[in-house]
Amino acid sequence: MKIKLVKTKNPNNIPKILREKSKPVEKITPEILDLAEKMTEIMNRTDGVGISAVQVGQLLRMMIVKVPTQKTESDSLSMDMVFINPEIIKLSGKKVAFNEGCLSFPDIFVEIIRPDICKIRFTDISGNLCEMESAGIVGRAFQHEIDHMGGILYFDHIKDGVKGLKKQKISN
Protein backbone atom coordinates (compact mmCIF):
# COMPACT_ATOMS: atom_id res chain seq x y z
CA MET A 1 0.00 0.00 0.00
CA LYS A 2 1.42 3.36 -1.05
CA ILE A 3 0.27 6.36 0.96
CA LYS A 4 1.20 10.01 1.25
CA LEU A 5 0.34 12.87 3.54
CA VAL A 6 -2.77 14.83 2.54
CA LYS A 7 -1.78 18.46 2.99
CA THR A 8 -2.22 22.02 1.82
CA LYS A 9 -0.64 25.35 2.73
CA ASN A 10 -3.93 27.11 1.91
CA PRO A 11 -6.65 26.61 4.54
CA ASN A 12 -9.17 28.05 2.06
CA ASN A 13 -8.49 25.06 -0.21
CA ILE A 14 -9.01 22.12 2.16
CA PRO A 15 -8.73 18.64 0.60
CA LYS A 16 -12.27 17.17 0.68
CA ILE A 17 -11.22 13.98 2.50
CA LEU A 18 -10.16 15.99 5.58
CA ARG A 19 -13.84 16.94 6.09
CA GLU A 20 -15.15 13.38 5.81
CA LYS A 21 -15.98 11.07 8.73
CA SER A 22 -13.82 8.00 9.26
CA LYS A 23 -15.24 4.50 9.63
CA PRO A 24 -14.31 2.03 12.39
CA VAL A 25 -11.57 -0.50 11.77
CA GLU A 26 -13.42 -3.83 11.68
CA LYS A 27 -10.43 -6.16 12.02
CA ILE A 28 -6.68 -5.82 12.56
CA THR A 29 -5.30 -7.24 9.32
CA PRO A 30 -1.82 -7.24 7.76
CA GLU A 31 -3.00 -4.21 5.74
CA ILE A 32 -3.86 -2.33 8.94
CA LEU A 33 -0.44 -3.20 10.40
CA ASP A 34 1.21 -1.98 7.19
CA LEU A 35 -0.82 1.24 7.31
CA ALA A 36 0.24 1.81 10.94
CA GLU A 37 3.89 1.37 9.99
CA LYS A 38 3.64 3.79 7.06
CA MET A 39 1.73 6.37 9.13
CA THR A 40 4.45 6.17 11.79
CA GLU A 41 7.15 6.73 9.17
CA ILE A 42 5.35 9.81 7.82
CA MET A 43 4.73 11.20 11.33
CA ASN A 44 8.39 10.81 12.29
CA ARG A 45 9.71 12.14 8.97
CA THR A 46 7.62 15.30 9.40
CA ASP A 47 8.39 15.71 13.15
CA GLY A 48 4.77 15.16 14.15
CA VAL A 49 3.38 14.23 17.55
CA GLY A 50 0.37 12.46 16.05
CA ILE A 51 -1.25 11.47 12.77
CA SER A 52 -4.64 10.05 11.85
CA ALA A 53 -5.41 7.69 8.99
CA VAL A 54 -7.53 10.30 7.21
CA GLN A 55 -4.36 12.43 6.88
CA VAL A 56 -2.92 9.74 4.62
CA GLY A 57 -6.12 9.31 2.62
CA GLN A 58 -7.61 6.41 4.59
CA LEU A 59 -11.06 6.98 6.14
CA LEU A 60 -10.38 4.70 9.12
CA ARG A 61 -10.63 5.44 12.85
CA MET A 62 -6.96 4.94 13.56
CA MET A 63 -4.18 7.20 14.82
CA ILE A 64 -0.55 7.11 15.88
CA VAL A 65 0.56 9.30 18.80
CA LYS A 66 4.01 9.75 20.29
CA VAL A 67 3.54 8.76 23.96
CA PRO A 68 6.24 9.35 26.61
CA THR A 69 7.62 6.21 28.22
CA GLN A 70 10.30 7.65 30.47
CA LYS A 71 11.57 11.08 31.43
CA THR A 72 15.00 11.87 32.80
CA GLU A 73 16.64 15.21 33.53
CA SER A 74 18.44 15.23 30.19
CA ASP A 75 16.05 13.41 27.88
CA SER A 76 12.49 12.34 27.29
CA LEU A 77 11.90 8.93 25.74
CA SER A 78 8.76 8.14 23.81
CA MET A 79 7.19 5.42 21.72
CA ASP A 80 4.91 5.67 18.72
CA MET A 81 1.66 4.05 19.79
CA VAL A 82 -1.17 2.83 17.54
CA PHE A 83 -4.74 3.62 18.62
CA ILE A 84 -7.55 1.84 16.76
CA ASN A 85 -11.15 3.08 17.00
CA PRO A 86 -10.29 5.65 19.69
CA GLU A 87 -13.07 7.53 21.43
CA ILE A 88 -12.95 10.23 24.06
CA ILE A 89 -14.64 9.08 27.26
CA LYS A 90 -13.73 11.95 29.58
CA LEU A 91 -12.34 15.49 29.35
CA SER A 92 -11.21 17.69 32.22
CA GLY A 93 -13.09 20.87 33.04
CA LYS A 94 -9.84 22.84 33.03
CA LYS A 95 -8.99 24.23 29.60
CA VAL A 96 -5.59 25.33 28.37
CA ALA A 97 -4.52 27.47 25.40
CA PHE A 98 -1.69 26.17 23.24
CA ASN A 99 -0.20 27.09 19.87
CA GLU A 100 -1.34 24.10 17.81
CA GLY A 101 -0.26 22.92 14.36
CA CYS A 102 -1.19 20.10 12.00
CA LEU A 103 0.80 17.95 9.56
CA SER A 104 -1.91 18.54 6.94
CA PHE A 105 -1.46 22.33 7.20
CA PRO A 106 2.32 22.87 7.39
CA ASP A 107 3.51 26.12 8.96
CA ILE A 108 0.07 27.18 10.23
CA PHE A 109 0.05 27.39 14.03
CA VAL A 110 -2.85 28.95 15.92
CA GLU A 111 -3.78 29.23 19.59
CA ILE A 112 -6.43 26.63 20.39
CA ILE A 113 -8.17 26.20 23.75
CA ARG A 114 -8.81 22.56 24.67
CA PRO A 115 -9.42 20.56 27.85
CA ASP A 116 -6.10 19.83 29.57
CA ILE A 117 -6.76 16.16 30.36
CA CYS A 118 -8.25 13.64 27.95
CA LYS A 119 -9.20 10.02 28.66
CA ILE A 120 -9.75 7.72 25.70
CA ARG A 121 -10.88 4.15 25.06
CA PHE A 122 -9.28 2.33 22.13
CA THR A 123 -8.14 -1.00 20.75
CA ASP A 124 -4.38 -1.52 20.71
CA ILE A 125 -2.43 -3.12 17.87
CA SER A 126 -2.80 -6.56 19.54
CA GLY A 127 -6.60 -6.27 19.64
CA ASN A 128 -6.91 -5.46 23.36
CA LEU A 129 -9.52 -2.93 24.53
CA CYS A 130 -7.68 -0.29 26.58
CA GLU A 131 -8.09 3.07 28.26
CA MET A 132 -5.50 5.83 28.61
CA GLU A 133 -5.57 9.24 30.24
CA SER A 134 -3.12 11.94 29.36
CA ALA A 135 -2.54 15.65 29.86
CA GLY A 136 -0.45 18.22 28.06
CA ILE A 137 0.72 17.65 24.51
CA VAL A 138 -0.36 13.98 24.41
CA GLY A 139 -3.89 14.74 25.68
CA ARG A 140 -4.07 17.52 23.09
CA ALA A 141 -2.85 15.15 20.35
CA PHE A 142 -5.58 12.64 21.31
CA GLN A 143 -8.24 15.34 20.88
CA HIS A 144 -6.70 16.72 17.66
CA GLU A 145 -6.43 13.32 15.93
CA ILE A 146 -9.88 12.15 17.06
CA ASP A 147 -11.28 15.43 15.71
CA HIS A 148 -9.73 14.54 12.33
CA MET A 149 -11.72 11.29 12.33
CA GLY A 150 -14.92 13.33 12.57
CA GLY A 151 -13.93 15.75 9.81
CA ILE A 152 -13.12 18.48 12.35
CA LEU A 153 -9.96 20.54 11.84
CA TYR A 154 -8.00 22.34 14.54
CA PHE A 155 -8.89 25.84 13.34
CA ASP A 156 -12.59 24.94 13.60
CA HIS A 157 -12.04 25.52 17.34
CA ILE A 158 -11.30 29.22 16.89
CA LYS A 159 -13.91 31.92 16.36
CA ASP A 160 -15.05 31.97 12.72
CA GLY A 161 -12.96 28.89 11.78
CA VAL A 162 -10.88 29.44 8.62
CA LYS A 163 -12.01 33.09 8.47
CA GLY A 164 -10.76 33.46 12.04
CA LEU A 165 -7.24 32.54 10.91
CA LYS A 166 -6.97 35.99 9.34
CA LYS A 167 -8.02 37.64 12.61
CA GLN A 168 -5.68 35.54 14.74
CA LYS A 169 -2.05 36.08 13.86
CA ILE A 170 -0.73 32.94 12.18
CA SER A 171 2.74 32.19 13.51
CA ASN A 172 5.32 30.45 11.34
Question: Cα separation of 167 and 108, whole Å?
Answer: 13
Catalytic residue (one of 31, 87, 131, 145) = 145
Whether 145 is catalytic is yes
Picking from 147, 161, 155, 157, the residue whose alpha carbon sits closest to that of residue 22 is 147
Question: Cα separation of 122 and 120, whole Å?
Answer: 6
CA distances from 165 to 86, 96, 107, 169 (A): 28, 19, 13, 7
Residue type, 72: T
Catalytic positions: 145
